Structure 1
Amino acid sequence: MTTDKHKNGILGTLLAAFATRSIINTTNRFIYPFAPVISRGLGVPLTAVTSVIALNQATALIGIFTSSIGDHTGYKRMMLAGLVILIFGMVLVGFLPLYLSFVVAMFLCGLGKNFFDPAIQAYVGTRVSYKRRGLVVGILEISWAAATLAGIPLAGWIISKMGWQAPFLVLAASGLICLWLVAVYIEDDSRMEAVSGGMKFSIKLNRLMTSMAPLFKNPRALGAMGFAFFVSFANDNLFVIYGAWLENLFDFSVVDLGLGTAVIGVGELCGSMGTALLADRFGLKRSVCCGLLLSGLSYLFIPVSEFSMWAALGALFLIFFSFEFTIVSFISMCTELIPGARATMMSLFFGAAGLGRVAGAFFGGIVWHAMGINVVCYSSFIFSLAGLACLFWGTKKWHPQQQSLDHGKK
């Protein structure tokens, strides 16, 4: 009976986490393909909207200083706070369709994501054995594919029927449902040292910096941050301009872009499922290395795929399949790099990834306009190799702790 209750608890946790991350990922992703229609709705240039992508990703840097609080107060509280922040942002732009409210909304969406993601990854890290973590994290990361495969095409359909601001209100309502799911199905893990009304901000900040300082001297943590930065740079370097590339090359409409993005969703779904089914058996570190090599090489297929729409979509599929397999496998591995500070390590990982995406978003747009798609893809290949070098350097003497391997056997 205890076993059945334990299984039900795990299933409920996965349901709540998967649904919530699908909504969060949709809110942070759907502006990529629909930037043109949003810019027309707001009456601003396209560049004004695409620049918000960098701002959205920059919130990962704030996440470095907030997400590790979960190590001290409990991870569920961080998840709930992230959802409330995101819902507020969606409601703001949904009812007040101005450029300023759009900027604020996307900032809040990014901030909410960077509250929620490190918390749920750390929550899983404390409850799932290392040998099974690839499976569970892989299932959770399928939410990226759900957002791209279902969320973005659905957002495109809603825009075509009800206007550009309608998806924001739909996502806000979905966020409320997710808030209830997290409150009901995620086990309360509040710590005794949770937020005390009289605790001064300076004490909290000092505690945060104290918990982070050792990680900046740890090769494993530094290698993980370097890996996250470079592979995220490489991916957003292309991701930020793929819609314009398809639109210019094949005359894709906004609706076509939404449907074409489903190809990326299928690739991410296959990548996440590959991690869930294969990474634990193949070995997480070996999976990351092989996936990153394939991901880097895949960028080189884009310049030679322009002769056919299907070839171009196939190249995008391969890129996002291999990237997703790589990043999900590494997230599973990253939860064990610093077992005593999982949330802090994950927040640093997501912070470095966010910084890489900010840099990639700026770099990709500028390079594409100045030198074309070829240079964008060659640079993504080079940055992928840099990420691989960071991985080798940071984990050359690392082995997962034996107690994590044995956890859950008893």
Structure 2
Amino acid sequence: MRTPRSELTALTGAKVVSNTALRWVGPFLPTLERAFSTTTGTLTGIMGVCELGGLTTVATGPLLDRGHERRIFVAGLGAVAASSMIALVGTVPAFAVAFLVLILGVSNLTVAGHAWIGHRVPFAARGRAIGTFETSWAIALLVGAPVLAGLISWVGWRGPYVALAIGAIVAAAVVVAFVGSDAPHLPPPGTAAPERVPLPRSAWAPMIGSALTAAAGIGTFVVSGAWLDDAYGLSTGGLGLVAAAFGLVELVSSASVATHGDRIGARRSVLSGLVVLAIGATGMSIAGDSRAIAIGGLLVFLTGFEFGFVSSLTLVSEAAPLARGRAIGLSNAMGTVARASSVFIGGQLYEAYGMSGTLTMVAVCATVAFGAFSASGR
């Protein structure tokens, strides 16, 4: 029997697979550099450009307001599977195409999941639902990273791609079986259709803040593996363990949003997360030759990022209640531009100035995000 809880569980499990496909690349960039005979700057440049595929969620938003959440979610999983198969070709151009297809899939299934929650869960309890859904981001590292590290050691760099292709196909079948069919969302009596409702001016602050929070986190995370390898000599196995530790602290953060976010308040939660992020970035910047301080600072950074970013998604989901899918899609598109810029610029700054260059960019993003959320009314 389908229940909202079982449906959310199925969606969350499927998103673990898609997030693993997206997240494993950053910590294992040194492995992929060797596999494709290229550099960190080349791969992060490709990843940054491919992030622009998330702009397609602007077109997806109106479809979500018409009730096509499951259909878009399953199509996204299909793209994840296709991406993994394309990457098996083993060339830099194939990686570029694969990563673009991956971004198309993950971006659209993510906004479909958020719209599914927003259309079914009252705002007073939405932090719990979104926090639960976003534990998938952390589990992808906590469980996925060590498994993929083992596959790399066992069969080489192609192992993760084969496993993820199979996993995405299975996840799509589970969603079809356990999540109810799509149904149209009718606007309240006397109101215009969602695509004709203008977004309120108050919607922009949380959307801008969420985009810049994502930029701060992703810009750092994508070069974290290269930083730990270059500056502290971590092996592939060591990177897998550190990535799992990242996943653990992120899981605690997401779970904290799920259990405490509604009581604390989404806006206050976001601001608190940004403060913790800043403390972690400071630790990273003063780590020097200390591997322990470097890893500790990165863990604190990711704790604050995950808590703040997941909390920001609750604010975005209520930014425009009468055009929720459109607002979520537009917010994701804004985040896409911010993340793409962050990945590209952060990678170039890392190659030119080391982690201090990347952290300077992060400080700017986090400061502007803090100001945007401070100006937000909710």
- Give the C-alpha shift of residue 309 in structure 1: 1.8
Partner SS state of residue 31, structure 1: coil
> Offset at 1:382?
2.7
Q: Is the 8 A contact 1:77 1:190 kept in 2?
A: no
Contact 2:266 2:312 in 1 (8 A): yes
Letter aligned with residue 125 of structure 1: G
Query: CA shift at 1:51, angstroms?
Result: 2.1
CA shift at 1:123, angstroms?
Answer: 0.6
Asked if the contact 1:28–1:56 (Cα under 8 Å) also holds between the matched residues in 2, the reply is: no
Name 2:135's counterpart in structure 1. Answer: 142
Per the TM alignment, residue 144 of structure 1 is displaced from its structure 2 partner at its CA by 0.8
Partner of 1:157: 150
Q: Distance between the aligned counterparts of 1:319 and 1:108, measured in 2?
A: 29
2:287 partner amino acid: S
| Runs of 4+, deviation exceeding 6 Å | none
CA positional deviation for 1:374: 2.6
Matching of residues 215-364 of structure 1 within 5 Å: 215=199, 218-364=200-346
- In structure 1, what is the equivalent of residue 11 of structure 2? 17
Asked if 1:211 corresponds to 2:192, the answer is: no
Aligned length: 373
User: In the alignment, which residue of structure 1 is the partner of 2:51?
Assistant: 57
Task: Tell me the CA shift for residue 192 of structure 1.
Answer: 9.1
Cα-to-partner distance string for 1:80-128 (whole Å, 9 max, x where unaligned)? 111112212222223x333322221111111001110111111111111
The secondary structure found in structure 2 opposite 1:214 is coil
* Residue number in structure 1 paired with 2:23: 29
1:43 aligns with 2:37: yes
| 1:261 counterpart letter in structure 2 | A
Whether the 8 Å contact between 2:246 and 2:299 is mirrored in structure 1 is yes
Q: Which residue pairs with 2:115 in the alignment? A: 122
Task: Using the aligned pairs only, state the percent identity.
Answer: 26
Distance apart, 1:20 and its partner CA: 0.9
- Return the offset for 1:277: 1.3
Distance 1:89 1:366 in 2: 25
Write the deviation string for residues 166-201 of structure 1: whole angstroms up to 9, x where unpaired: 2111111111111111101111123399xxxxxxxx
Alpha-carbon distance, 1:223 to partner: 1.2
Please state how far the C-alpha of 1:219 moved relative to its aligned partner: 2.4
Per-residue deviation, 1:212: 8.0
Q: Which amino acid aligns with 2:179?
A: I
Distance 1:244 1:213, change over 3 A: farther
Contact 1:300 1:378 in 2 (8 A): no
Q: CA deviation at 1:213?
A: 8.1
The 3-state SS of whatever aligns with 1:190 is coil
Is the contact made by 1:150 and 1:262 (CA closer than 8 Å) also made in structure 2?
A: yes
Unmatched segments (≥5 aa) in structure 1: 194-207, 399-410
Q: Which moved more, 1:161-170 or 1:306-315?
A: 306-315
Q: Is the 8 A contact 1:76 1:119 kept in 2?
A: yes
Structure 2 unaligned segments of length 5 or more: list them: 187-192
Q: CA RMSD in A?
A: 2.2
Which one has the largest radius of gyration?
1
Of the three residues 58, 73, 76, the one matched with 1:79 is 73
Cα distance in structure 1, aligned partners of 2:196 and 2:279: 35
Distance 2:233 2:30 in 1: 13
2:56 match: secondary structure: helix
Per-residue CA deviations over 1:380-399 (Å, capped at 9, x if unaligned) read: 12321101111233x23x5x
- C-alpha contact 2:114 2:130 (8 A) present in aligned 1: yes
1:181-192 alignment runs, 5 A limit: 181-191=174-184
